[in-house]
Structure 1
Amino acid sequence: MNGKYTMWILMAGMLLVAYLTSSTWLEIAATTTGLLSVWLTARQNMWCWPVSLVNVGLFFFTYFEAKLYADMTLQVLFFLLSIQGWIVWATRRGGAKVRPTSRITPKLTALLAVILIVVTFAWGHVLERFTDASIPYADAFIATLSIVAQLLLSSKILENWYVWIAVDVLSIGMFLYKELYVVAFLYLIFLGIATAGLISWRKDYRLAAEAAGPVNGSRPGAVV
């Protein structure tokens, strides 16, 4: 099916869920721009970044109303990382529309794992002690995992999709618990798009790596 038609079908489905659950206009606007942003990202379209800037602004206020303060704070960082991603994707393109996809290294994987654990517990403790956060540690874990995913995405690293898939699955459960049904439905769609994005990016990376060939026995496109 044509990608544009698929996008319109997903939009229609999300608006139907919004109508049936009496969602606010803020929630609808946030989920709609979020869907468009992720869809453009999976297609490696540079327009994903300006749309993302609008989306994180809308989600900032959505999460504030839901008392999901970790996710609310996360939107500020996402705004900055979206600007960084825009710059990264637009540079060192070598004549391509966007920068080529790279792979993560074991060193970076270990570093991000440590950061995930430390930040989750520290952030969760702060939320539990100093705010009326509904589910502080779960909120903090998903938020921190989202930061890791966004860092990898902004750096055009393939493994960002594996992390986003984990974020989407966890988020679906959290938003159902918070009765944010449209946002939960959005993350279900995100899960499908992230899976498609992983398949597409991995295929493009494999083709580019085969065309470039190994350089001094190293893995092409690895990032420290």
Structure 2
Amino acid sequence: MHDFFTSLYQQFLSTTFAEWVATVSGFLCVFLAARRHILNWPISIISVSVYAFIFLDSKLYGDALLQLYFVATAIYGWYYWNKTDETSQHKPVVSFRSGQQLLVLIAVGLLTLLMGTALDKFTDSDVPYIDGFCTAMSFVAQFLMARRVLQSWLLWVIVDICYIPLYLHKDLVLTAILYVAFTIIAWNGYRDWRHAYLNKTR
């Protein structure tokens, strides 16, 4: 156990400046998103742009590609959240309609198979299907969050937990610690958005 924490401490000390920038901005963006604050989107663009280079260097190609998608959805989310309805200062939180849960499961399954197979055949990734699954879940969760869908946070809880051992495996210790925090924030984000949704439907 002592050796584990010693190794963890040494890896923490060797964290690059780029990972610090990506981590701090990433934490801030998720913190703001959980509170439905629109500034989460421009800060997200900074974080994911830096992480794209970090993940390429770590041979997490699915995650690197995901960051480009995050830039696009951040721009879309920034625009969509900026549109207000007639009765609220913010775009309201919505929930899944009947049958949409099944569509999400199918989308995650197909994207995982597609991403995992592509990473396995065309890259030197040593974790193609794990990377593919996390990437697929993140694709779907990010789109749902941009649309202010309540259940997006539950997907983030699952994917954040999955990312922790993956980033430890890649010696991205600070990022792994960040994803522990992300898991907690995602759960709190779900509770906050659920409260807002229930207040809207009363």
Q: What pairs up with 1:54-133 in 2 under 5 angstroms?
A: 54-94=46-86, 96-133=88-125
Residue 31 of structure 2 corresponds to which residue in structure 1?
39
Residue 4 of structure 2 corresponds to which residue in structure 1?
none
**Deviation at residue 19 of structure 1 after TM alignment:** 8.4
User: What is the rounded CA distance, in whole Å, between the counterparts of 2:43 and 2:36 in structure 1?
Assistant: 13
User: What is the rounded CA distance, in whole Å, between the counterparts of 1:152 and 1:18 in structure 2?
Assistant: 38
Higher alpha-carbon deviation: 151-160 or 115-124: 115-124
User: What is the rounded CA distance, in whole Å, between the counterparts of 1:94 and 1:41 in structure 2?
Assistant: 22
User: What is the rounded CA distance, in whole Å, between the counterparts of 2:186 and 2:148 in structure 1?
Assistant: 14
Contact 1:112 1:148 in 2 (8 A): yes
Contact 2:11 2:171 in 1 (8 A): no
Distance 1:155 1:183, change over 3 A: same
**Deviation at residue 134 of structure 1 after TM alignment:** 2.1
Q: How many residues align?
A: 194
Contact 1:175 1:183 in 2 (8 A): yes
C-alpha distance after superposition, 1:196-222 (max 9, x if no partner): 111111111111111xxxxxxxxxxxx
Contact 1:85 1:154 in 2 (8 A): yes
Contact 1:18 1:28 in 2 (8 A): no
User: What is the rounded CA distance, in whole Å, between the counterparts of 1:18 and 1:206 in structure 2?
Assistant: 46
TM-score (norm 2): 0.91
C-alpha distance after superposition, 1:101-138 (max 9, x if no partner): 00012332222211211111121111111110120000
RMSD of the TM alignment (CA)? 1.5
Q: Tell me the secondary structure at the aligned position of residue 99 of structure 2.
A: helix
Residue 149 of structure 2 corresponds to which residue in structure 1?
157
C-alpha distance after superposition, 1:174-200 (max 9, x if no partner): 111212110000000001111111111
Structure 1, gaps ≥5 residues long: 1-16, 211-224
Structure 2, gaps ≥5 residues long: 1-8
Residue 145 of structure 1 corresponds to which residue in structure 2?
137
**Deviation at residue 98 of structure 1 after TM alignment:** 1.9
Contact 1:161 1:195 in 2 (8 A): yes
Contact 2:163 2:179 in 1 (8 A): yes
**Deviation at residue 21 of structure 1 after TM alignment:** 3.1
User: What is the rounded CA distance, in whole Å, between the counterparts of 1:208 and 1:44 in structure 2?
Assistant: 14
* Amino acid paired to 2:112: T
Contact 2:12 2:174 in 1 (8 A): no
